[in-house]
Amino acid sequence: MVRLYIGVMIFCPRPGSLVYQSKASNRLVLFLLLALPILPTTSFALPKRLIIALDGIAYRDMKALQEGITYKDTHGFQFHRQAFHQGYFPVSRMISTFPSTSDVAWTDIFGDRPLPGYQRTYYSDAVNREISVNGITTSMEHEEQMQWQVENGFLRTLGYVYPSHMYRYEVHELVGNFLNTKSQGDNYYAYIRTPDDAQHLSRDIFAMLGALDEQLQKLRVLYRAREGRDLEILILSDHGNNHAGVGQRIEIRTFLKNAGYRITNSIMNSKDIVLPTAGIESWVEIHNSPAETENLMRLLPHLKGVDVLTAKFPGQTNRFMVTNSKGERATIDWNPSKNSFRYSTETGDPINYLPAVEALSQKNRLDAEGFATADAWMAETLTNRYPLALERIVRGHTCVTLNPANILISLDNHYVHAGWLVKKGSEMVTFGGTHGALDDLNSDGILLSSFAPTQDTSSRRVAGLYDGFPGLRNFRAEENGAEWITGKEQALIRIARVPLDWDRRKLPDDEVFLRIWSSSFTHLDFEVPVELTVKKVGQFSSAEIHRGDHQPVGASESYEAVLIGENGQGDPQPGNAFERHLTLNQPISFPDKCAYERVYAFPADLVLEPQKEYSISGRVRDQNKNIRIFDFTFHTDSRGMPVAY
């Protein structure tokens, strides 16, 4: 997704005109970014494989670049470029999730626990509220698992303003950090964000990829001289880009309002609709009363800019409907036990899958009920305009997020979904395109290797080609933090990596647990007391999760004062304030003991109000210091229980 921070732009006196910083200031930005030296390399043996998660690179672009491409840039200058053709095997497709967006795709690629939403502005069914998380200052699990990524929020913001400069900085820092890593694992993971930002702003992606190839070639020479062997490089991306330029904003809000619906942040009656929106996208998620799903699916094909609509049949777990702008309609049936799918048309053929059905029939790949396995459908539809559509639609409505939408809309590539202000801001720059839709332009990412031929694959399958991507950074072993979890949510992790991933079956599905991790635990008793403070925040606000900071209490702050608070434990708080102090000292015992992590049952004596927002912090006593190990906000559901997602 693209976020436009208009505040960093400079507006000219002439109405409607816009300029950025001067070329001199651009050069200064680049100089400052690259001025950070690459330190002398360490004496440690370097990892054998460098795995680069390269955001937003389209299969068609990398394929063209490997073959050699002549093109004109946005200024009309002609170039011929060729890259990644020496020392690499031909690029393969990596088909994204649906929606084809970064957070859900990377989460799927690495087999992590599904995220609360498709994006960081999402609707929580349990809270019945739209929740916004700051996409600049927060990191999702897949980002935390990288050995290297840009973590600084200011530098991330620069990626939206100076994407070309930040890209060179990212490549520079990646190389330097790889050469100086102390990691003893075979794999080193790095995440480069800015190619996606750059393409949203119509930067020259072929030139950027060529620069990456050049730097990696230099790294390979240095690596061979130092290690006496070739560096293995694997590059993969999470989705494509439609390169459609400035799109027309889809008027979905006006359309729905004219049809009698109310766009809101929570669903209180049958005509309420929540439309989480972040950046500029080629897809739309709709959260609505299930009773209205059929009505909306009949209505929305008439909305200008719609390409394909998908939804789960209300009350039917494994049945899904597909329609298009022509009103053609089909049904997808899913057999979870066999992970097989059946495509049945009612009127027309909304995604042109009848030829695939016929081909599967001729190859005897359909069973007696007309189902074919996910792999059979994949083999038959890789080059379809909507690759792997049945599987991706079903997963988009069931498991790629913990709060799936009632309806997903894939837009015509000449249209975008965005807030009014963001869309107007995009018109002041050269907008290059976006992603998120179901079609191949949006969905086809890359898989590229220097050490072995690759094969076309998907976000769900790619980890299986590389032993589950072992050696991802275990950030919980190095940091402090906490989160609410449930057994149901933990069971959705596809690739087990830490002890709790294997022991999750001991957690009941519907009970809430507090998961705490800290390096301090490694040298403390298993039942060391953890002192909690729970406060009511007030009305709902943007939920920004803060990983616990390792902060000792100040010299003037006694341990008892921290635990009791200014008003004394149990004393009434001013106004309607709520504050409770509790002690946890009986963590759940699992077969696989984890030195840095504890899991606690929800305290039975902690009574919270329904549908409210609270903050919770935790401290432990370590060598006479009171260390805060976490602090985050959370919401409660209709029962007054913390919502894990």
pLDDT tens digits for range 326-360: 999 999 999 999 999 999 999 999 999 999 999 99
At position 116, the amino acid (one-letter code) is P
Half-sphere exposure of 34 (CA within 13 A, CB side): 14
Q: Read off the DSSP letter of residue 190.
A: E
What domains does the chain contain, in order, with CATH numbers? 6-110+145-244+439-466 (3.40.720), 248-426 (no CATH), 475-635 (no CATH)
| Residue with the two structure tokens 């921290």 | 562
DSSP string covering 332-362, please? EEEETTTTEEEEEEEES-TT--HHHHHHHHH
Residues across the chain = 645
Contacts of 121 (CB under 8 A, 6+ apart): 130, 131, 132, 133, 276, 277, 278
Angle between helices 205-227 and 163-179 in degrees, nearest 10: 10
Extract the residue ranges of the chain whose pLDDT is less than 70: 1-43, 420-430, 538-576
Is 546:632 a contact under the CB 8 Å cutoff?
yes
Contacts of 298 (CB under 8 A, 6+ apart): none
CA distances from 266 to 121, 123, 124 (A): 13, 8, 9
Q: What pLDDT sits at residue 427? A: 54
Q: What pLDDT sits at residue 266? A: 96
Number of neighbouring beta carbons within 10 Å of residue 83: 22
Full 3-state SS string of 252-266? HHHHHHHCCCEECCC
DSSP string covering 386-441, please? STTHHHHHHHHTTTSBSS--SEEEEEPTTEEB--HHHHHHHTTS-------SSSHH
Q: What pTM was computed for the model?
A: 0.88
Is 292:270 a contact under the CB 8 Å cutoff?
yes
